[in-house]
Structure 1
Amino acid sequence: MNILIIFTSYLLGSLPTGFLIGKYLKNIDLRTIGSGSTGATNVLRNVGKWPALFVFIIDVGKGLIAVKIAQYYTDQGLIEVIAGISAISGHIWPIWLRGKGGKAVATGLGMFLALSWKVGLASLGIFLIVLTKTKFVSLSSISAAILLPIFMFFYLGKFIHSYFFISLIVALLVIWKHRTNIKRLIKGEESKINQNQ
């Protein structure tokens, strides 16, 4: 059962929502334009506001549902964590798109909303605050990722816990996926949310 949960979580995460929306609405391949990501931000810039919101909600749902399925069928915290990271892996490296997907932010949010809604909402709050102040989605995502393990530590009250370790791994993964954005931010070349890349 555990293997089935993990496999299902990966498949759920790998649903290429942004790619399909781009193809269906504008007949474009998001992997070849803008940031090359199939996530909501690239959808926003190249397809539109409402399609981007739809993609964001679905991508959040992928992470949330994967963990909730694991929680329903098992009481093992480790399986919940593995299910969540499997969904994130599917989102980043979808089998249907030859491993070229999104950057894990929305799906990661869904995962942590399921593991701890307080930590998930705190991270979302940081994202929205930084986005409001700077208009940089990448900086907002990185800021939320950096603070994620800190929020999880305060929620748990200890370091030695699978939730803390996975929050650290996801934070590092999100930062790594934004490495090109970090270079552009340093050079002053990063696009704001209302600008095309």
Structure 2
Amino acid sequence: MAAWFTGKWYGVSLANLNSGNLGARNAGRTLGKLAFLYTFIGDAAKAAVTARIGHILVLDEFVIACGVCLCILGHLFPVWLHFKGGKGVAALIGGVAVLNPMLLMILATSTAIALPFFKNLTRGMIFGFVACSLVILTFHIPVYTPLLLSFLLITYKHRKNLRERVS
């Protein structure tokens, strides 16, 4: 958990500050832009490295997608932090960037398109998840179905953000 290490480096426990979430957003809000960057890179790297190792070992894309999904699951519910982790966005971005950059472009583009309408990054991101899910299901890309589980889990972890009012 990169936020845990970043917090320790800054001499604080991010689990006890602001949202208490161990992710890049809380690290940035609490400790500044550099802490956000450290945390984001660390969280994205774990899933990206997993996918890259899968490619180096010439594993099946489905197996690599499962590995990325497991990285995200471990990020969301880390055993060593009593199942209180981050919300998974950076890990998803890192894993998908290596697994299928085109899918990441669809996620980013659809999120950016939705943002002006929803005026909320979380809701825009959920729209991006729906768009990616539709691409996976429409074009029958079963190797990426583990990502559908990741989208659902990340959406679940963002449930409080989804309830926030947009002004």
TM-score range, shorter chain: 0.7 to 0.9
Shift of 1:131: 5.0
What is the rounded CA distance, in whole Å, between the counterparts of 2:30 and 2:119 in structure 1? 17
After TM superposition, list the pairs within 5 Å mapping 1:63-82 onto structure 2: 63-82=47-66
Runs of at least 5 residues in structure 2 that lack an aligned partner in the other structure: none
Give TM-score scaled by structure 2 length. 0.86
Task: Give the aligned partner of residue 177 of structure 1.
Answer: 157
> Which moves more between the two structures, 138-147 or 30-39?
138-147
Query: TM-score scaled by structure 1?
Result: 0.74
Shift of 1:132: 6.7
Cα RMSD after superposing both structures = 2.3
Contact 2:122 2:161 in 1 (8 A): yes
1:148–1:171: 8 Å Cα contact kept in structure 2? no
Q: Give the corresponding residue for 1:86.
A: 70
- Structure 1 position 118, deviation (Å): 0.6
Mark the CA change 1:131 to 1:51 in structure 2 (over 3 Å): closer, same or farther: farther
Percent identity (aligned): 26
Q: Does 2:98 correspond to 1:114?
A: yes
Distance 1:41 1:137, change over 3 A: farther
Q: Describe the shift of the 1:82–1:167 C-alpha distance in structure 2 as closer, same or farther (beyond 3 A).
A: closer
Question: What count of residue pairs does the alignment treat as equivalent?
Answer: 167
Question: Which position in structure 2 is the counterpart of 1:10?
Answer: none
Quote the offset at 1:80 in angstroms. 0.7
